[in-house]
Amino acid sequence: MEKLPWVRTVQGDVPAASLGHTQCHEHIYLRKGPSYDVNPALCMDDFSRSLQELSDYRAAGGGAIVDAQPGDFGRDAAVLQALSARSGVAIVAVTGFHKLCFLEPQSSLPTLTVPALTARFIGEITQGMTSPDGRLLPARAGMVKAALTEGGLEDPAYRPLWEAAARTAVATGAPLMVHTDPGSDPLGLMTFLTARGVAPERVLLCHLDRTVPDTATHLALLRQGAYLCYDTIHRLKYHSDAEELSRIAGICRAGFSHRLVLSLDTTNERLRAYRAADMGLNYLLTDFLPMLRRAGVEHGQIRAMCRSNAAHLLSFRISPSAGEQENQT
Ligand SMILES: [Zn+2]
């Protein structure tokens, strides 16, 4: 199999092996906007508080995160770059789209055709991301983000975005992260994506541990080769840590620890430097991984879920036309 050694972070391309402990679905900086209007917990716009969280994460052994907020949905790529530089945590930014209720009102995304959307998403991966004030930055996105709602692929407001996300993933080789809503159809989505040439191994399906109660669906997706992100850890309005532990242990027993990644999907209510009383971005490292060990999950499985799976998922063949040091053999 071809080796895919590079990960595209906001500070440039780094060897996948250098990432270390990685959480693939986080929100470390989120501008105040429509997401705040939907839910005030969805705003983390204080640089020093976000930096504190990243510094604590680094001190606990964290190496990298994916910030899961795309452009026009509250991302600030320049801030992500500065946070990464100051904290030493590698940050992968995303292009693509989130739920349209989070879209900033001035965005042109709803007016664009599929080719124009595709060009925009590809450009954010190959050329640079756009800042909220419209400047083209040198920092590039390293992952495609897409949101699967209950209306799914048949919703005309989302269909062009999905077509563009799939084309971007195929054209660049970048991994594709999928937000899932309750009632959405991830198996149907995989049919759509694979028909367009997206390999299942390039897809990360997020939130299934709170949105899809049926374990058989999880296993069917894993058998296809997709990665799952279990990110409802210590999110107690959904379920307890004990329940999350048993779900993770069940996936490991079924033989799929090589396809599972763990994350926190943070909000300001779940970050100590903002409003949380009992957890921060480092919660996995300080509290949850010891619980997993005590629950009997093997060291090698934990290492896979926190390190090597993310390294495989996030790495892709950097296009030589993008001016990178590609070493094709
Ligand atoms: Zn999220």
* Domain layout of the chain by residue ranges: 6-317
Cα 91 to middle of ligand 1, angstroms: 15
Cα 2 to middle of ligand 1, angstroms: 31
Range 264-280 average pLDDT: 95
Cα 179 to middle of ligand 1, angstroms: 7
pLDDT score recorded for residue 328: 37
- CATH number for 6-317 (one of 3.20.20.140, 3.20.20.450, 3.40.190.10, 1.10.10.10): it is 3.20.20.140
| Pair of tokens at residue 305 | 């879920």
Q: Which has the closest alpha carbon to 26: 94, 86, 82, 79?
A: 94
Cα 35 to middle of ligand 1, angstroms: 11
Cα 325 to middle of ligand 1, angstroms: 32
Cα 73 to middle of ligand 1, angstroms: 12
pLDDT reading at 329 higher than 60:
no
pLDDT score recorded for residue 2: 46
Residue 195, amino acid: A
pLDDT score recorded for residue 321: 42
Residue 319 confidence class, pLDDT cut points 50, 70, 90:
low
- Structure-model confidence comparison of residues 78 and 319, the more confident one: 78
Cα 234 to middle of ligand 1, angstroms: 14
Cα 103 to middle of ligand 1, angstroms: 14
Tell me the pTM: 0.95
Range 99-114 average pLDDT: 97
Cα 285 to middle of ligand 1, angstroms: 19
Residue 317 confidence class, pLDDT cut points 50, 70, 90:
confident
